[in-house]
Structure 1
């Protein structure tokens, strides 16, 4: 199968398997306190992560590029990013490295949104030189290095050699002039993974847990035979990944993605330690349906975020990490097994 067709399949199958809700977020309940002692106008939704500044605590996460059809999808997403003042990451630019005729499917993002925050994206199997090439191609403000071993294993034509990925990331962090975001692709992260990333200098980590786009499911669907059904449930949820990250004494900026659909999911993720939220399939779903309506929906989301933060007495995103919440269900069971003290979350205020 051509790379072009694979990229188109990824988008169409993401829509086919689109799910409304990630159940792990149902394991989080905020403790309601009756006196917020603040007004809605007091809320500040902006976030600064090192050299990166966002007017809102969410962005359009990596999705697509690499074919004529996905060029049109990226154009819609870039329009949405521009009109809603959101940062945007492209899908993996490796397709354009292999086939220069597909460069325009990625360059369209910067052309459509010349003044916005744009992130390039490349797999951990690539080294510094390719990272420099894709940053230059997109005039990118940062680069995501995606880590996707389960997807590659299930993908019929995927990679089978994973030795050296961490060393590649280290060389990119040391040699690149823009921030480097280490990003899972929907399988979550453990505290051990986060320690490894920090040990090679990574300061931006997207834990990207399961609950959103399931690339094991997508690649398994594409297999003609020898299905790997058991791997479709592989990994940790975004909620569990954030709890794992909180166990590490860390200076890294933590980003949440994977199954985040609504403002309440964002607030819960930020209460668990995320400074920023990435949404992929939700934005894809909205943009393919009606991109102008999507702009209006995002405006409403920003209002809803301010309202919810007011109820929690949180003036800033950082204040959310001092709110009280109760963890139940499978998340609580995981925490018990991994010796994560959930009682402390219920009495942080």
Structure 2
């Protein structure tokens, strides 16, 4: 199956099948309610700046699609919505359009519909290893404000036609960081990023990390629906829930580089928790897919649900600005608490240091 048709296959599966993995870590995080918030809800300011562009909130639509004619309208609807709400988005992997220029308009439609929004380009690390030119073309194609290099080796090793040569990736990423004129983001796609990997990425010049943690779309799961090979299908099922839960990954990476929390973010409350534990911003893809097949207005409604939930979480924790949310009082439990302790993090200090308490 060629790259373009595979993109459409992925969209169909995500729309028709159950593809999410379990447990993000946010289930074990509680923001402490402030019964006297001393904040006027109408004066809460959720705005932030991302790579020189002002966003109305620290929330973006994660990379989703493009590369097939049938995906053009999806990307248009996503772009119209983020433009109107002052947000941002990433495009799906641009490989198909770089290989076949006739497919480029499924991506260029994004910048056409969102001339002022924060937009990031997207290429796979396998393509980066082939040529830096892939990255330069991807950025130029959509006049991108940044470029994401995606890591998806879990998907690749389950995918029948997957690229499983993972040698030379860090050197290729370094070369991109030295060559391109826009900020470089490295993003996982459902399996998370550990602290040790984050440190390597920082060392070679990466400017931000999108953790793409476990708890959202399982790309191992998606590939289970695609393959007819019984061994590949069963291995895909075994690894359906493989990876570092999103909240865990945020803590691993959040003090190394600016970190975007993606993977199972399904509400504004999830986004607020992510920011409270160290994420710079949050993002999601799957919740916006079905609305994007309908209209820009449906995407906008879903985004407004997320944004309103974030604002309510800020109000109920007494936070007027996002910087205050980063210091919000919280408690941790269960697997998340156990994981913090196993990684050498004092849970009491983790919960209290935000308020300058000990």
1:257 to 2:262 alignment: yes
What whole-Å deviation, never above 9, does each CA across 1:255-285 have from its counterpart, x for those lacking one? 1111101100000000011111111111113
Alignment of 1:143-292 (within 5 A): 143-225=147-229, 226=231, 227=233, 228=235, 229-246=237-254, 248=255, 250=256, 252-292=257-297
TM superposition score normalised by structure 1:
0.93
How many residues align? The count is 346
Q: Which whole-Å CA distance do the structure 1 matches of 2:20 and 2:283 have between them?
A: 16
1:339 pairs with one of 336, 344, 347 = 344
SS where residue 83 of structure 2 aligns? Answer: helix
Asked if the contact 1:47/1:275 (under 8 Å) is kept, the reply is no
Asked if the contact 2:19/2:222 (under 8 Å) is kept, the reply is no
Identify the residue that residue 307 of structure 1 maps to in structure 2.
312
Runs of 4 or more, structure 1, over 3 Å off, are 18-23
Identify the residue that residue 5 of structure 2 maps to in structure 1.
5
What whole-Å deviation, never above 9, does each CA across 1:16-48 have from its counterpart, x for those lacking one? 225598553211112223222222233221112
RMSD: 1.9
2:299 pairs with one of 278, 294, 300 = 294
Asked if the contact 1:275/1:318 (under 8 Å) is kept, the reply is no
Asked if the contact 1:124/1:166 (under 8 Å) is kept, the reply is no
TM superposition score normalised by structure 2:
0.91
SS where residue 177 of structure 1 aligns? Answer: coil
SS where residue 209 of structure 2 aligns? Answer: strand
Identify the residue that residue 98 of structure 2 maps to in structure 1.
97
Q: Pick which of 151-160 and 66-75 moved more.
A: 66-75
